[in-house]
Amino acid sequence: MNFLNEIMREYPSAISFGPGAPNHAFRDDFSIPECLACFEEHLIEQTGCTAKDASNLLYDYGPSKGILNRLIADALAMDEGIDVAPSSIVVTVGAQEAMALALRALFRSPRDLLAVVTPCYVGIIGAAKALGVDTVPIDETDNGLDLAGLAGAVAHARSQGSNIRALYVAPDFANPSGTIISRSAREQLLALARKENFFIVEDTAYAFTAGVPDPTPSLKALDTEHRVVQISTFSKIGSPALRVGFVVADQRTRNADGKDEFLADALGRLKSMISVNTSPICQAVAGGMLLRHGGSIRALGRAKADFYRSNLQALIDALDHKLSPLVAEWPTIAWTRPEGGFFVRLKVPLEVDLNLLRRSAGEYGVIWTPMVSFHPAGGGRNEIRLSCSYLTREQIQVGTERLASFLRAACASATQGSDP
């Protein structure tokens, strides 16, 4: 993210397919003062406190586990039929803190390994590295993940004296792949987790882009044995500036002292020593947004889902139109066709590195993301990620034209053996 921001600042006239950020068109959808007022009114109604007490709550540190817990629990019950106590939810500083806290609480031994579906979101890879947690890549398939490969990795780890403690997976339009795991595969994954005794860390950041009345149930909604630790965020459906995410952690685990406790309690204790609490003001804005959409996370994301799906289709159509002529000359050029999420993956007959990106930005005015960072065990050297979320339709069209020009020149140079 920091590198992409640097490139965007260095080449301000370039069109960037880099950031997986919400579109600025939604900034006017909510007023911060109105959301704050809505949430304060809710507090007064629910708790019977005075207006002054409600206001004071937002300007204090607040509890480490959060002040949105009941609202989120009600939304999960309404949207997905997930029955979880508010005390089993921890409101975090974005999904990134939720990932770090979950890994820190779950992984206690150097022999504990984290399986990740690869290509994988760089945030979980970074969190694992920062905490000294080794990762085991599991190949992605058209159905989301290689279940046989996961079972084999569990058996191999065990034979080496190690243990697959958890699997990180984004089952709905994963970043960066855009794949979705079918319901049957989700049920098989849960059965495997039960059989082999590992947890599943489920990232649902892009699930809202399904845009259909009855999307495939989340892993957490199908979970009957508390195997799934669900992580989500208000960044995509609200604003990343809020830095409000949450984790649903209703598992019972043993702490370092051997005592039995809910995982959410362990996360709350860790959070109190790391970030103390998530800003109550930011939580209140997120809560106000939620309340103004009937308390439903799904309803909050529904209008935005239509926009992002439309943008995604516009990008795919532009690639079909602008890049198809290049395929005749360079047949390995290919792109994915996801039905949701923010991203398209593009394979190219080039070694993708930062020098190539700088040339693309500086000479052709188009920015994209190299895929190599999404492969913890290596790979992705001939792929780029294109994000459509941040752009207008016109920018998508112009950016794709620039991308086609760049690829034609770069591929021709590589074919001739010269420096691309």
The 10 Å Cβ neighbour count of residue 195 is 10
The mean per-residue pLDDT over the stretch 401-411 comes to 97
Whether residue 55 is predicted with pLDDT greater than 50 in this model: the reply is yes
The mean per-residue pLDDT over the stretch 246-260 comes to 86
The pLDDT assigned to 212 comes to 77
Q: What is the pTM (predicted TM-score) of this model?
A: 0.94
Contact 362, 11 (CB under 8 A): yes
Whether residue 257 is predicted with pLDDT greater than 80 in this model: the reply is no
The mean per-residue pLDDT over the stretch 40-56 comes to 92
The pLDDT assigned to 215 comes to 85
Residue range 124-143, pLDDT digits in tens: 999 999 999 999 999 999 88
Residue range 271-288, pLDDT digits in tens: 999 999 999 999 999 999
The mean per-residue pLDDT over the stretch 64-91 comes to 97
Confidence of residue 297 (pLDDT cuts 50, 70, 90): very high
Confidence of residue 211 (pLDDT cuts 50, 70, 90): confident
Delimit the CATH 3.40.640.10 region(s) of the chain. 31-291
Whether residue 223 is predicted with pLDDT greater than 90 in this model: the reply is yes
The mean per-residue pLDDT over the stretch 394-409 comes to 98
Whether residue 420 is predicted with pLDDT greater than 70 in this model: the reply is no
Delimit the CATH 3.90.1150.10 region(s) of the chain. 2-26+302-415
The pLDDT assigned to 34 comes to 94
**Whole-angstrom Cα distance, residue 308 to residue 183?**
23
Phi, psi of 136 (to 5 degrees): -120, 115
Whether residue 51 is predicted with pLDDT greater than 80 in this model: the reply is yes
Question: What mean pLDDT, rounded, does the chain reach?
Answer: 94
The pLDDT assigned to 303 comes to 79
Q: Count CA within 13 A, CB hemisphere, residue 300.
A: 27
Ranges of beta strands (E only) in 178-298 are 199-203, 228-233, 245-248, 252-254, 260-262
Residue range 86-125, pLDDT digits in tens: 999 999 999 999 999 999 999 989 999 999 999 999 999 9
Phi, psi of 117 (to 5 degrees): -75, 125
Ranges of beta strands (E only) in 119-173 are 134-139, 163-169
The mean per-residue pLDDT over the stretch 266-274 comes to 96
List, as one string, the DSSP characters of 101-115: HHHHHH--STTEEEE
Please name the CATH architecture into which domain 2-26+302-415 falls: Alpha-Beta Complex (3.90)
**Whole-angstrom Cα distance, residue 141 to residue 387?**
21
Whether residue 417 is predicted with pLDDT greater than 70 in this model: the reply is no
The pLDDT assigned to 418 comes to 52
Whether residue 412 is predicted with pLDDT greater than 80 in this model: the reply is yes
Class (C level, CATH) for 31-291: alpha beta
